[in-house]
Structure 1
């Protein structure tokens, strides 16, 4: 998704309102409505960024469940989503407070560059999973961090520069996204074929080590439950945003007056809410995965307060039913035990 900005000249009885995606319209509403709409969009964006923040915290906690190379890449993807959400919320508040156009343009630029980096990072994740599939035997113990960081940095910066400054970003994004989706589908079926083969082919089964089996299963899970859903949902957001921008452009071409009614932008607002629902679906889908969902209760306990945290620390031992056993006796239990011994 790339931001769409429009600058309107203020007319009599009209107010500039910033909608989602940096779109500024000149409509016949009062100041209260302007503040309400800006605050509404900012709160929705902050909630979305908070969901990605929770997802990032859980991802960091369970980072040992996958290869550290992929863990870092996917963590950077989530961090980019968080930054984009916060940047868009800051734009809304700066606009309401009368911030300078230069400051808004700088934030717009950082937003666009960061959002385009998401596609590059997911493409790097696809390449990483491809290497993990082709060299599954040795990849689990691979830790060439210097080469890895250099290649990722050059790939991301090269893509961002080429897509943002050298040609139409939407075209490049569409081509790379199609490659990612096709690559993810191919990788999933390839790893699925290998899994079925070592389960049924006795000759092949004896040649497959335990680490290779683990790597193949990890590849399937990562591709099917992380990369493919994220890139598909993100592509749908881009598609809806492009459609809303095209509709709004045609509306303004039909009526070139400087002051419009808010009803004229209803198609743009409706499509923007559809895009926001799709954006919300990305962190919500990941949080409802079993690996992430199992960590949510502990995250909630940490948020509730220090007393809850202390109680959870005291209850480290579990019985066979998974129930926590408090092995640290309280003061009353200690003196009650002493009284029973002196009787």
Structure 2
């Protein structure tokens, strides 16, 4: 969590410019106002593009939601929504900082950002539990729709984890432990469901005991764990690892230099590692969007976006009467049909 540290670093040093880098990290460097504006807009645009990709992914996920159990579909949709919210919150911080917002305002947004980002790990853990239940009780789980119990358990789990990880102890330690459990659990679930799939395909005695719904649920478990849940948590873990490394490296640089106003080149390692982390963040939505089931939805999504941008133009489109004369539908529609009714009387 970078909020307190970032705010505490703001000083009134002469000949220095306050610049916010990624992860709310504010530095005092000797650059002019134009360079500061360019840096803030550059980071904000990169973050907005990333949020847009997650938005497209969320839209496609909603379109193909019937391809998996609704319990998992809701959890995965919430994970994507959290990524979108974090990206927009970070972009808003960049613009607010550029226009001189107060530290209290930024801290409120920082807090919301940190809590929402912590919720992603909790939601991934809930996904692991949900897939574990769907593996153990594969026969009955497909038709299970106990929404009341599901919503209560998920709400308590996410709230409890976020509160414990953010306020009770060091969030990075808790996140690392839970992430390791999620990755190990996903790998175990994948090989368990793979073993069951091979067994009912080769073992004739076992094949007759497996219903069609159970086969479908086992295959769904394999696809969801290997192609959706595991890549997200692994890539997100790499992002967290790179961010922690860049933060530690920058702290060491500042410890060896007591001056308050630094050259931007001193933060080059931090900026370079930040771009590595951003590439990994971009990889999460891009990996999912290039999957076949998601990729084939892209033309329809962009076609609808294109149609919505032209909706006003289509309303004002021209039609032709029987004589080939163009008529404007919107302003003359009532008059045109009224005239036809009078002519046919």
CA distance in 2, matches of 1:183, 1:21: 29
* Partner in structure 2 of residue 119 of structure 1: 121
**Counterpart selection for 2:147 from 145, 148, 162:** 145
Post-superposition Cα deviations, 1:221-258, rounded to whole Å, max 9, x if no partner, equal 00000110000000000000000000000000000211
CA distance in 1, matches of 2:222, 2:132: 11
CA distance in 2, matches of 1:261, 1:197: 63
* Partner in structure 2 of residue 167 of structure 1: 169
Post-superposition Cα deviations, 1:51-76, rounded to whole Å, max 9, x if no partner, equal 00000000001000000000000000
Please report how far the alpha carbon of residue 307 of structure 1 lies from its aligned counterpart in structure 2 after TM superposition: 9.6
* Partner in structure 2 of residue 296 of structure 1: 298
- In 2 relative to 1, CA 159–331 (structure 1 residues): closer, same or farther, beyond 3 Å? farther
CA distance in 1, matches of 2:225, 2:81: 19
Contact 1:38–1:93 (Cα < 8 Å) also in 2 = yes
Please report how far the alpha carbon of residue 136 of structure 1 lies from its aligned counterpart in structure 2 after TM superposition: 0.2
Post-superposition Cα deviations, 1:122-179, rounded to whole Å, max 9, x if no partner, equal 0000000000000000000000000000000000000000000000000000000000
- In 2 relative to 1, CA 170–200 (structure 1 residues): closer, same or farther, beyond 3 Å? same
Post-superposition Cα deviations, 1:72-131, rounded to whole Å, max 9, x if no partner, equal 000000000000000000000000010111110000000000000000000000000000
| Misfit runs of 4+, over 6 Å | none
Give structure 1 stretches of 5+ with no counterpart. Answer: 310-329, 333-343
Secondary structure class of the residue paired with 1:257:
coil
Contact 1:88–1:111 (Cα < 8 Å) also in 2 = yes
Post-superposition Cα deviations, 1:206-231, rounded to whole Å, max 9, x if no partner, equal 00000000000000000000110000
CA distance in 2, matches of 1:136, 1:205: 15
C-alpha RMSD of matched pairs (Å)? 1.5
User: Is 1:90 the equivalent of 2:95?
Assistant: no
CA distance in 1, matches of 2:220, 2:50: 28
Contact 1:10–1:258 (Cα < 8 Å) also in 2 = no
Secondary structure class of the residue paired with 2:27:
strand
CA distance in 2, matches of 1:67, 1:305: 31
Contact 1:17–1:26 (Cα < 8 Å) also in 2 = yes
* Partner in structure 1 of residue 336 of structure 2: none
User: Is 1:226 the equivalent of 2:231?
Assistant: no
Please report how far the alpha carbon of residue 308 of structure 1 lies from its aligned counterpart in structure 2 after TM superposition: 8.5
**Counterpart selection for 1:214 from 216, 238, 252:** 216
* Partner in structure 2 of residue 157 of structure 1: 159
Post-superposition Cα deviations, 1:171-207, rounded to whole Å, max 9, x if no partner, equal 0000000000000000000000000000000000000
Post-superposition Cα deviations, 1:296-342, rounded to whole Å, max 9, x if no partner, equal 01011111125989xxxxxxxxxxxxxxxxxxxx999xxxxxxxxxx
CA distance in 1, matches of 2:305, 2:18: 39
* Partner in structure 1 of residue 2 of structure 2: 3
* Partner in structure 2 of residue 254 of structure 1: 256
Secondary structure class of the residue paired with 2:11:
coil
Contact 1:10–1:26 (Cα < 8 Å) also in 2 = no
Secondary structure class of the residue paired with 1:226:
helix
CA distance in 1, matches of 2:71, 2:78: 11
Secondary structure class of the residue paired with 2:18:
strand
* Partner in structure 2 of residue 34 of structure 1: 36
Contact 1:18–1:95 (Cα < 8 Å) also in 2 = yes
